[in-house]
Amino acid sequence: MNLDPYYRFQEPAKYLRNEVSAAFKTILNEVPYAVKVVFDMTYWTWRLTHYEYYMEIKGMVDAVNDPVVTLPGTILINSYYELASWCTSIIA
């Protein structure tokens, strides 16, 4: 965790490249097209509002180096994860 955020998770992302790509495709196939469009247009706001997370995700996307694994898509998946975690915490 002492690394710059961009480099923080690059090695695990490279090591799990195939698994990340497969999971990415599977998850995004379930996301409505309109939601994908919204994140394609607004993902850049994370650089302003969640800079450290943004740079970690950008580093992972660059390390995976698969044209299907995009920065907007990865931020979308992360947002779904955070929302699900939050919902779970308030229900429990």
Range of the domain at 42: 5-91
**What's the domain count of the chain?**
1
pLDDT tens, per residue, the chain with 92 residues = 689 999 999 999 999 999 999 999 999 999 999 999 999 999 999 999 999 999 999 999 999 999 999 999 999 999 999 999 998 888 86
Global confidence as pTM:
0.87
What is the C-alpha separation between 86 and 56, in angstroms, rounded?
21
CA-wise closest residue to 38 among 64, 65, 67, 75:
75
Q: Are 43 and 76 in contact (CB under 8 A)?
A: yes
